Structure 1
């Protein structure tokens, strides 16, 4: 079987960045919505502004240009959600622009220009299985399931949809050892 190299799309900075201390995943609490904090969500819309504060009157820090990008919700205020992206940048997005659909980014911490940084999407949840595709850092996939070690993903490549498995440790958008059904 021949595999495909899938490249990534990114977000566009607008110039401002809100810096925050990292929050650990071990301290899970409930926000005003009743949903756990922190938690992963994805962008519902194609174009989304992340603001420096919880309201439209606040400046835009980032503009995301791709629906489906995963974000981590770390705080809630009214209808606004403070989120962190895969680069560690934080800001506020209106809750109506977020979806509960789980997505992940392939190894965003690796260098996309380094050929060794690609990760393999396998036909089965094991390292020796046939390769379905090679994913460059930043490729976004929809999570079908994760067992704590492997995640089954659906990745769009042009007009094709590819399905396969990759190590959960090579993804941003699923917590270590998290089970997703």
Structure 2
């Protein structure tokens, strides 16, 4: 019976000690995220009382999270605009946006020697897969393949 009384506090203490380490990993910025809703407000400050500066109507738009303040995130969009957005409007799922500069090619594999599947216009948004050797998995509206990493905003280190 005494061993049980001693074991329970140690177990609780062990769980409590492990929790901050995991939370600290979640706090690291910058990181990539994507807009996770059909409509998302970008505010000039971290709170509902701040003016709305921009309204995004583009689900899966990639953003870079620069800072955290409570439930608010300071983000940067592909055009370089910065502002505050609620964490509930964002997903950690990686997305990418085809950069300006003309059509890019989507290939069947991560190589320019593989068959070309589609040409994608600048501004197209897609979900990113793993990136390796300069190529990333890319899925836009069910069209899946590989694109050059340097042709997409939202790849690499944030």
Taking structure 2 as the reference length, the TM-score comes to: 0.80
Q: 1:168 aligns with which of 128, 131, 149?
A: 149
1:59 matches 2:44: no
> 5+ residue gaps in structure 2?
1-22
Greater relative contact order, per chain length (Cα 8 Å cut-off, separation 6+): 1
The CA RMSD over aligned residues, in Å, is: 1.8
> 5+ residue gaps in structure 1?
1-30, 111-116
2: CA distance, partners of 1:43 / 1:63: 11
1: CA distance, partners of 2:59 / 2:25: 23
Q: 1:81 aligns with which of 73, 77, 83?
A: 73
After TM superposition, where is structure 1 displaced by more than 2 Å over at least 4 residues in a row?
31-36
2: CA distance, partners of 1:162 / 1:55: 38
2: CA distance, partners of 1:104 / 1:48: 18
The 3-state SS of whatever aligns with 1:42 is strand
Q: 1:147 aligns with which of 125, 129, 132?
A: 132
The 3-state SS of whatever aligns with 1:61 is strand
Query: Closer, same or farther in 2 for the Cα pair 1:68/1:152, shift >3 Å?
Result: same
Structure with max Cα Rg? 2
| Structure that is richer in helix per residue | 2
* Residue-pair matches, total: 136
